[in-house]
Structure 1
Amino acid sequence: MRLLDKTVIVTGASSGIGRAIALLFAREGAVVVAADITEDVVEGGEPVIQALGQITPRAVFIKTDISREDEVKALFRQTVETFGRVDILINNAMVRGGLPLAETEMADWDRVMNVNLTGAYLCLREAVRQMLKQDIVNETRGRIVNITSQHGMIGAPDDFAYGVSKAGLVYMTKQVATDYAKEFIVCNAVAPGKILTGKKGSAIDPAKLEYSRQRTAMPRLGTSQDVAHAALFLASDEATYIAGHNLMVDGGWMAQ
């Protein structure tokens, strides 16, 4: 129960990594606000709020398009009105581009940046604004964990806009940590490597999987649970004197 009675907002909570984080945090005692643009589950199965309801009665789903300022403000306002404060933000929602630079049109670029950068900025801003109003508990007013990517530090093959957006989120992690650690707001990130979430399509293309296996030092690829446990550590009071860190969860990919 490492997050007992902590109020957590998880964006992109319906599927994949965000869903795994929301469910794990609920099992650790958190009050979970699951935010997503849809209740549909990419991998199939029951909506996340139903899965959360099997763990705790203290969970809500708030439909949110994080690229829209009014919806992000409403997400945080409703959370505070209902639960009193925001202890943790998991900034996870994202979209992929799937195109190299020469094939990336303005509409493709805008779609990725509107969610992965503008959406992340809006959530960070509202989280910091709220946390600055809160009392200090166990040396923090609040914790933020951004979900970045190894492709924010190395090239994302044929996914130009996505790689650029994740590099921007790595930078924002450092900037928020630098500016607000003195205010007892702790900001870090988790950078997944190749993660098998259960998603179909290009995510499990045999050639791409083989490339990932060759690049990964460990004898398996990652799972959503691997990322969720790393996020749990950084969101918990166990993560002391850590700020601005981008924790790799990549099976040793970046070490090679």
Structure 2
Amino acid sequence: MARLSKLDRSVAGRVAVVTGAASGMGRATAWLLADEGAKVAALDVNRDGLDATVDAIIGAGGTALASVCDMADPGAIEEAVAWVRAELGPIDILVNNAGVATGAPVDAAEYEDVWAAVLEVNLVAQMRMVRACLDDLKRNGDGRIVNVASTEGIMATPDNSPYTVSKHGVVGFTRALAVELGRFGVTANAVCPGPIRTGMTASIPNEAKEKYARRRVPLRRYGDPEEVAQITLSLVLPAASFINGAVVLVDGGLHAKSN
């Protein structure tokens, strides 16, 4: 039968850049976009993880390439984006997923160094990626930006203020982009994952994970990376053309719970 809907739910053929794609949510996002037909550029500082991501995509019949990129190096960002553009074409989708989870008490001797390092990767690099991709994203009036923040972007935990500030900054940056770029048809949205089973949480003992989830998460478990990636995919669809400036929690109900 003829379709009644008018909006396109396919990313087939669109060029997507995913940072932090060597593992966890970044890898899941790259895989999912490739599954849906996007041409994926996977960026990360971890060469082995990147190769594993791209090899899996190509092995499944998808299109992907890898670019080793240190998100703390502005020159490396410019070079990586230029290379992606030359190899795959203009960029349609940017997923800013790369991040570090280092924290420190505010009175720690190393606090300012931790502060600078965390903000450089978690926030400043997102800004640089947006600026490097912006002309491409604006060209057709349908560019998509998804910035990965965290539930720490809307709440806080002790001894973690550099990370918390960086993720609050991501939320604010995303909203500012939504307001500034909306007139070009570019949407900017943020995803705030809660407790997810990734490399960042791998060092937490399973018993501690289970105890935390039972106490704090209404779904009583940690999330899987693909559960976050599915929301990211939804936000970059052509049909997601009126979702702009949203901050989407993917936390199993963590933030909704009062205590």
Same topology, TM > 0.5: yes
What is the TM-score of this pair, normalised by structure 2? 0.89
Q: Where does structure 1 differ by over 6 angstroms across 4 or more consecutive aligned residues? A: none
Residue identity matched to 1:67: A
2:47 partner SS: coil
Which whole-Å deviations, capped at 9, do the CAs of 1:160-185 have from their partners, x for residues lacking one? 21111000000000000000001111
Question: Displacement of 1:127 after TM fit?
Answer: 2.0
Which residue pairs with 1:156 in the alignment? 157
Question: Displacement of 1:198 after TM fit?
Answer: 5.9
Give the length in aligned residue pairs. Answer: 248
Which residue pairs with 1:22 in the alignment? 30
Q: Among residues 112, 115, 119, which one is paired with 1:113 in the alignment?
A: 119
Q: Given the alignment of the two structures, is residue 195 of structure 1 paired with residue 196 of structure 2, yes or no?
A: yes
Q: Among residues 128, 132, 145, which one is paired with 2:134 in the alignment?
A: 128
**CA distance in 1 between partners of 2:170 and 2:204 (Å):** 22
Question: Displacement of 1:75 after TM fit?
Answer: 1.6
Which whole-Å deviations, capped at 9, do the CAs of 1:12-63 have from their partners, x for residues lacking one? 0001100000001100000000000112349xxx721211211235210011
Which residue pairs with 1:36 in the alignment? 44
**2:23–2:199 Cα contact (<8 Å) kept:** no
**CA distance in 1 between partners of 2:157 and 2:48 (Å):** 27
Q: Among residues 7, 13, 25, which one is paired with 1:5 in the alignment?
A: 13
**CA distance in 2 between partners of 1:200 and 1:170 (Å):** 22
**CA distance in 1 between partners of 2:205 and 2:122 (Å):** 22
**2:187–2:241 Cα contact (<8 Å) kept:** no
Question: Displacement of 1:193 after TM fit?
Answer: 0.7
Which whole-Å deviations, capped at 9, do the CAs of 1:141-192 have from their partners, x for residues lacking one? x100011100111013332211110000000000000000011111111110
Give the unaligned 5+ runs of structure 1.
none
Question: Displacement of 1:201 after TM fit?
Answer: 4.6
**2:96–2:148 Cα contact (<8 Å) kept:** yes
**CA distance in 1 between partners of 2:202 and 2:39 (Å):** 33
What is the TM-score of this pair, normalised by structure 1? 0.90
Q: Give the root-mean-square deviation of aligned CA atoms.
A: 1.9
